[in-house]
Amino acid sequence: MSYWGEFATIALAHGLAVASPGPDFAIVLRQSLTHGRRAAVWTSFGIGCGLSVHVAYSLLGLGLLLQRSPAALAVVQYLGAAYLAGVGLQALLRARPRSGDLDLAASPARPSDRAAWTTGFLVNVLNPKAALFFIALFPLAVSAATPKWVQVGYGAWMAAATVAWFSFVAAAFTHDAVRRRYLRHGHWIDRALGVVFLGFAASLALGSLGGRV
């Protein structure tokens, strides 16, 4: 039996989702501009691992528990909102004009690889919209008769494609010309990204409140 039709559906849906602006894109952008390529790539790997968690519980059927439990979903939403709000406030507090020569090394201390990975992992795994995407995707696109090893292959593809996409984003936004522009106008970019993260946090929090009304 051929599974290429299923794979194409999943790959297309995932590709559109991962390329759309959201918390994952915003955090990779900020890591790229603020800390450089290495931190952004490790953040991308963290996002890919977070996605693997969503895939795993969707394959195990545990996603239905989250989908059918408004209280559990609300907890995830509040945790995600709190984390994104923290990232946003951190960006705003660091948004200060830079002075002196435009030295590409003149950026805040780069986080450790583990810290960068953890940032990407938490941003993705605490995003309930990502959870609901996978909870809805697998039942709709994947037949119950599809072997689990094939479904694991779908998940592995999505995780690898996610890391590849955000690593490309990291490479694009850590080009010397882009970094020099950031050093010149970076405080405005930091402020904009801070507002963006706070907006994501508010969206999650309000969505949780709205779901309980």
- 16 within some domain: no
CB atoms within 10 A of CB 72: 13
Determine the pLDDT at residue 102. 44
Residue 194 lies in a domain: yes
Instruction: Identify the pLDDT of residue 211.
Output: 47
142 inside domain: yes
Residue 48 lies in a domain: yes
**Mean pLDDT of the residues in the chain:** 80
* Predicted local confidence at residue 92, as pLDDT: 77
> Based on the structure, what is the number of domains in the chain?
1
Segment 51-70 mean pLDDT: 77
16-20, 90-94, 105-109: segment of lowest average pLDDT: 105-109
Structural domain contains residue 4: no
- Domain that includes residue 94, residue range: 24-212
Q: What is the arithmetic mean of pLDDT over 38-61? A: 91
User: How many percent of the chain have pLDDT more than 70?
Assistant: 78
157 found inside a domain? yes
Least confidently predicted of 47-56, 119-128, 188-197: 188-197
The answer to whether position 159 is within a domain reads yes
Burial of 74 (0-12, 13-18, 19+ CB in 10 A): middle
How far apart CA 82 and CA 23 sit, in angstroms, is 13
Range from 79-83, 201-205, 209-213 carrying the lowest mean pLDDT: 209-213
Query: In sequence order, what are the residues at sequence separation of 6 or more whose Cβ sits closer than 8 angstroms to the Cβ of residue 47?
Result: 24, 27, 28, 120, 121, 123, 124, 162, 163, 166
In terms of Cβ atoms closer than 10 Å to its own Cβ (0-12, 13-18, 19+), residue 78 is middle
Percent helix, strand, coil in the chain (nearest 5)? 80, 0, 20
* Letter string b/e over residues 171-181, b meaning 16 or more CB atoms within 10 A of that residue's CB: eebbeeeebee
Lowest mean pLDDT among 11-15, 79-83, 155-159, 160-164: 79-83
pLDDT of 108 reads: 59
Query: Where is 109: in which H helix or E strand?
Result: none
14 domain-assigned:
no
Judging by beta carbons within 10 Å of its beta carbon (0-12, 13-18, 19+), is residue 123 exposed, middle or buried?
Answer: buried
Kindly report the length of the chain. Answer: 213
Residue 52: pLDDT band with limits 50, 70, 90 = very high
